Amino acid sequence: MADIYETRFRYYKFGDYEITEMINYGKSAVVFKGYNANDKQVAIKIFDNELIARYGETTQKQRIFRENTLKNHNIDGLVDILDGGTFTFEKTETEYFYIVMPFLQGCNLKEYIEKKGACDEDIAKKIFRSLHESTEELLKLNIAHRDIKPENIMMLDNGDIVLMDLGVLKLIGTDDLTDVGESKPFIGTLRYAPPEFLRREESNTIDGWKAVNIYQIGAVLYDILMGTELFKQYSEPYANLVYAVCESIPHIDRADCDQEFVQLVRNMLIKNWQTRISHFNKANIPQILSASSKNSQNDLLSAILSPQSKYITMENEIQQIKNKKDETLRELGELQNKIGKIIESCLTELEEKKAINEWFLSYDGRPRELNRYVKAFILSGEGKQGFFSKFAWCPVEH
Ligand SMILES: Nc1ncnc2c1ncn2[C@@H]1O[C@H](COP(=O)(O)OP(=O)(O)O)[C@@H](O)[C@H]1O
Ligand SMILES: [Mg+2]
């Protein structure tokens, strides 16, 4: 798609705009550099027409309209929308949807991390502050971004951070453009979606969407701190990634950083959205953000001195592990009972037929109640150690 669009629209003119070259593309559009009527440099995003085929023209028009409602907004750290609408490409008489933004000089955060690897704590905190503030401002307008991820964050050459791509904005409380009756398709980006959003069980309230923001910002911070994509090892096949989003607890290990901040990021990735939001609300964000990275030296020291610090984990993680352990022990107990019963009935049958008593008697010359012995052995839990090896080696009566 990008290649075709690049050849088609390079140096193309429509309305007040003149396109020059392609900047980049995402999953829904190709973004070009260009100029407006006042010769001011702008970025022109031309949407993939395939989306119109997929979601229908009305949906796509509503999306552009919604983006346009943010025209000239005053939200720091959020890309401005200058204009938007449709134009007709005369050669093929095809209609295209477009959005005009200020041209942002820099590179997106995905490219930045690919180039630089794991980032310093200061950069992570700066990105956190910017994303947190801009998404909170959007929430005040009853809007959720829904697609916060490194590719949609611009690292400007002047050091500023800008959240881009307002393509899947959500008006909180209203129905989704793509939801039809019971059918609620997933929109956005799976890797950076919290489990409740992936299942489309998110709460359509300010708190519900705040929890989605927190998770997505946490996922971005994971990439920044670890220098790699969240759940990278689960990338293929798709079902693995779905599993990871729902079940796998990301491991964040940065002993050189302020541990309160690292713990905050871990908490932002809690699977249960209510627990996630309550941890976040309890956290002292201004204090965490103002802690200077000089603290890192102390943190590093305490990390070395305290072997436990590596294993600091979330309350609900511990609970999850405990539950899993209890469940496994219960299943093991049930299994042991079943095996015990099977063996018991086999032995009863063998005893009735006097099939092995002679062998057993001859083992140490004393008669035994084989049935009772085996039952006690299995139910005592020693069977866990390997029933048959123990039985053959040392049949001691309890
Ligand atoms: N205003 C802009 N200025 C400069 N580059 C931009 C601008 N908007 C987007 N880009 C570049 O284009 C890429 C895709 O833009 P995006 O809006 O995320 O499209 P998509 O909806 O297809 O994901 C971004 O990752 C970024 O590199
Ligand atoms: Mg994008």
Residue nearest to atom 9 of ligand 1 (CA): 31
Sorting pLDDT into bands at 50, 70 and 90, what band is 8? very high
Sorting pLDDT into bands at 50, 70 and 90, what band is 296? low
Query: What's the CA-to-centroid distance between 57 and ligand 2, angstroms?
Result: 20
The β-bridge relationship of strands 153-156 and 161-163 is: antiparallel
Query: What's the CA-to-centroid distance between 390 and ligand 2, angstroms?
Result: 62
Using DSSP, state whether 47 is helix, strand or coil: strand
Query: What's the CA-to-centroid distance between 245 and ligand 1, angstroms?
Result: 25
| CB of 82 closer than 6 angstroms to any ligand 1 atom | no
Q: Tens of pLDDT along 173-207?
A: 888 766 666 677 787 899 999 999 999 999 999 99
| CB of 103 closer than 6 angstroms to any ligand 1 atom | yes
Q: What is the DSSP letter of 150?
A: G
Query: What's the CA-to-centroid distance between 51 and ligand 2, angstroms?
Result: 14
Q: Is the pLDDT of residue 376 over 50?
A: yes
User: Among the atoms of ligand 1, which is closest to the Cα of residue 31?
Assistant: 12
Q: Tens of pLDDT along 138-178?
A: 999 999 999 999 999 999 999 999 999 988 888 888 887 66
Q: Is the pLDDT of residue 55 over 70?
A: yes
| CB of 259 closer than 6 angstroms to any ligand 1 atom | no
**Of 17, 80, 154, 220, best ligand 1 pocket probe by most atoms within 8 Å of the beta carbon:** 154
Q: What pLDDT does residue 339 have? A: 87
**Triad 261, 264, 266: Cα angle to 5°:** 115
Q: Tens of pLDDT along 343-356?
A: 888 878 777 776 65
Distance CA 323, CA 183 (A): 33
Nearest ligand to the C-alpha atom of residue 28 = 1
| CB of 166 closer than 6 angstroms to any ligand 1 atom | no
Q: What is the mean pLDDT of the chain?
A: 85
| CB of 150 closer than 6 angstroms to any ligand 1 atom | no
SS (H, E, C) 155-181: EECCCCEEECCCCCCEECCCCCCCCEC
Q: Is the pLDDT of residue 338 over 50?
A: yes
Nearest ligand to the C-alpha atom of residue 162 = 1
Task: Looking at the chain, list the stretches that DSSP marks H as alpha helix, in order from N- to C-terminal side.
Answer: 2-9, 49-55, 57-68, 109-116, 121-140, 195-198, 206-226, 238-247, 259-268, 273-282, 285-290, 295-305, 315-352, 357-364, 370-379, 387-393
Query: What's the CA-to-centroid distance between 42 and ligand 1, angstroms?
Result: 12
Query: What's the CA-to-centroid distance between 165 and ligand 1, angstroms?
Result: 7
Chain-centre distance for alpha carbon 181: 27
User: Among the atoms of ligand 1, which is closest to the Cα of residue 79?
Assistant: 1
Query: What's the CA-to-centroid distance between 147 and ligand 2, angstroms?
Result: 8
Distance CA 62, CA 45 (A): 16
Residue nearest to atom 20 of ligand 1 (CA): 26
In the chain the domains, ranked by start, together with CATH numbers, are 2-102 (3.30.200.20), 106-305 (1.10.510.10), 344-391 (no CATH)
